[in-house]
Structure 1
Amino acid sequence: MKKIFDLRSKKGKSPLGSFTIPGRDRGHHRTSFQPGYHIRDRDLGKIHKAASVGNVAKVQQVLLLGKNGLDDKDKMNRTALHLACAYGHSAVVALLLERKCLLNLCDSENKTALMKAVECQEEECATLLLEHGADPNVVDVNGNTALHYAVFCQNISLAAKLLSYNANIEARNKDDLTPLLLGISERKHCFCKLTQLPEGDVISLFFRTALILAVNYESLNVVSLLLQRGADVFSQDVFGRTAEEYAVINSLNYKPQRAANHHN
């Protein structure tokens, strides 16, 4: 006989129960989602202006005349590559890559061009960067990686691409959240699509904290997925509680049932 979740929640019950999320309940949730950049002409060099509007010819001219260097930063520490990626100008990105620009320079929030491309959902730019060796595991000022942003934006395609280029699926930000846990805490339900990702990478995340978070947020589709992939409902968190116990707290109707292939 095997216990499984009966995935129904009772109306009127707080999805948080007695559970707290690091950072969020202290008022310091650290997911800074700011697609694009605030552009002011006085902050930009000539190459930055040209890159931000996708003017390939102007970028070439600026470089040829030596008015700016390839990796020069503006007043916000952004390179031409940052700005081209943020606004999806893949032709400018390709030119800068051809000229051997530095890939992993960081802006004032410690975001790389790759991180900005992911945050702004510019998949073509992100792909070009990855193909040329951009590091997917640089962390921003809040400890987030490009994979955190891909998950936060519910972009399974970008998440899978980052993983194929060795993005660290276990990376934890300053709230101690992996990309998966960040998504669950933000109620991002793209995780039912995680079966598209490599088996080994997915299984490595499907353990105690992920399941417990999913239960506490009543993310029933995520709970179902985790159970299908073999998450242990009896593993304890740092408070000594199991997913089963949190299910009781949150009235998720956790009850003994026989497996479907078990005969009475």
Structure 2
Amino acid sequence: MKRIFAFGRKRKGQPPLASASAPRPAGACDLRQKALDKLHRAAACDDLAQVRQGLKKRGVDGRDKAETPLHLACANGLADVVTYLIENKCELNLVDNGNRWPLMKAVQCQQEKCVAILLEHGADPDLADADGNSAVHLPVISPNTSAAGLLLEHNTGIDAQNKEGCAPLILAVSEHQGEIVEFLLNKGADVHVPLAQQTPLMTAASGGELNLIKVLLHYGADVSHKDTNGWTAEDYAVVHGYSR
């Protein structure tokens, strides 16, 4: 699911306004348990004995209509089930019918323990969904610095851009998530990462986000940087009524 964040409409002679494509909010997990077979229901409900029994009849990566047992266990934070499925050689990077893999499910649903287990066993943190969002885009919305930290410890691309050209830092600024903005910058995010030639500082200035502006300046944001139309962050602020 994709949302577009914009800061008003572009007027003639004014700087262009960037938008940010956001992943689904964390916690958006639809399980449809009544429609699941025994194996998948067991994986969703922490019934490890039934999971063991189910694996004798079905493959470890068997799907219901949408997801594998690993997807369901990750969405529900069932660390023991996740570990058991991994021990039985399940595939870590299969996608569901929404093009989301188990790691994305775990991050979406804020299941940090499952995130840690998946990463420790080699789940790929840099896979992208249909909108180009990688797992590191997801903790920005929550916000969830713990999950973000786990991903960054496993060398995920901190400046990864989705199909809209939106990196996590731009998304954090667009969502007014000051804690995540500072967290990403402290972890080495590029303070000048662009979205349609608009820097994070320009995005913050467009919304009059004084606290975010201070954080970005503290981490070296260049106030003299110009977009392709010659506009600086100060121009963005003045045009949108934030001359102070």
| TM-score (norm. length: structure 1) | 0.79
Instruction: Confirm whether residue 54 of structure 1 aligns to residue 51 of structure 2.
Output: no
C-alpha offsets along residues 31-71 of structure 1, whole Å, 9 cap, x if unaligned? 333621241433x23221100001111111211xx221101
Give the 5 Å matches for 1:1-264.
16=8, 18=10, 19-22=16-19, 31-33=23-25, 35-42=28-35, 44-63=36-55, 66-76=56-66, 78-191=67-180, 193-194=182-183, 197-198=186-187, 201-202=188-189, 204-207=190-193, 209-253=199-243
Structure 1 residues without counterparts, runs of 5 or longer:
1-14, 24-28, 255-264
Specify the SS of the correspondent of 1:138.
coil
1:203-239 deviation per Cα after TM superposition (whole angstroms, max 9, x unaligned): x244561111111122222211110011101111233
- How high is the sequence identity, in percent, across the aligned residues? 39
AA in 2 matched with 1:55: D
Structure 1 residues 220 and 191, CA gap change in structure 2 (3 angstroms): farther
Distance in 2, Cα, partners of 1:217 & 1:124: 36
Structure 1 residues 110 and 39, CA, compared in 2 at 3 Å: closer, same or farther?
same
The one-letter amino acid of 2:43's match is A
1:67-110 per-residue CA deviation (whole Å, 9 max, x = no partner) reads 2110111101x111100010111110111111121111111111
Instruction: Provide the C-alpha distance between the structure 1 equivalents of 2:185 and 2:201, rounded to a whole number of angstroms.
Output: 19
How far apart, CA to CA, are the structure 2 residues paired with 1:109 and 1:195? 27
Q: Letter of the aligned partner of 2:54 in structure 1?
A: V
Higher relative contact order (CA 8 A, sep 6+): 1
Could you tell me whether the CA contact under 8 Å between 1:143 and 1:174 is conserved in 2? yes
Alpha-carbon distance between aligned partners in 1 of 2:42 and 2:180, rounded to the nearest angstrom:
38
* Distance in 2 of aligned mates of 1:189 and 1:87: 28
Cα distance in 2 for partners of 1:88, 1:174 equals 29
Indicate the structure (1 or 2) with the bigger Cα radius of gyration.
Answer: 1
The one-letter amino acid of 1:62's match is: G
In structure 1, the residue matched to 2:3 is: none
In 2, the alpha carbon distance for the partners of 1:16 and 1:190 equals 25
Amino acid at match of 1:209: T
- In structure 1, what is the Cα distance between the partners aligned to 2:219 and 2:185? 13
Indicate the RMSD between aligned Cα atoms, in angstroms: 2.2
User: How far 1:167 sits from its partner (Å)?
Assistant: 1.1
TM (normalized to structure 2)? Answer: 0.85
Q: CA deviation at 1:166?
A: 1.2
| Distance change (3 Å), C-alpha of 1:150 and 1:195 | closer
For 2:82 and 2:98, how far apart are their aligned partners in 1? 21
Which runs of 4 or more aligned residues in structure 1 lie more than 3 Å from their structure 2 counterparts after TM superposition? 15-19, 205-208, 251-254
- The number of equivalent residue pairs is 229
Alpha-carbon distance change, 101 to 195 in structure 1, aligned in 2, over 3 angstroms:
closer
Residue pair 1:103, 1:129 contacting (<8 A) in 2 also: yes
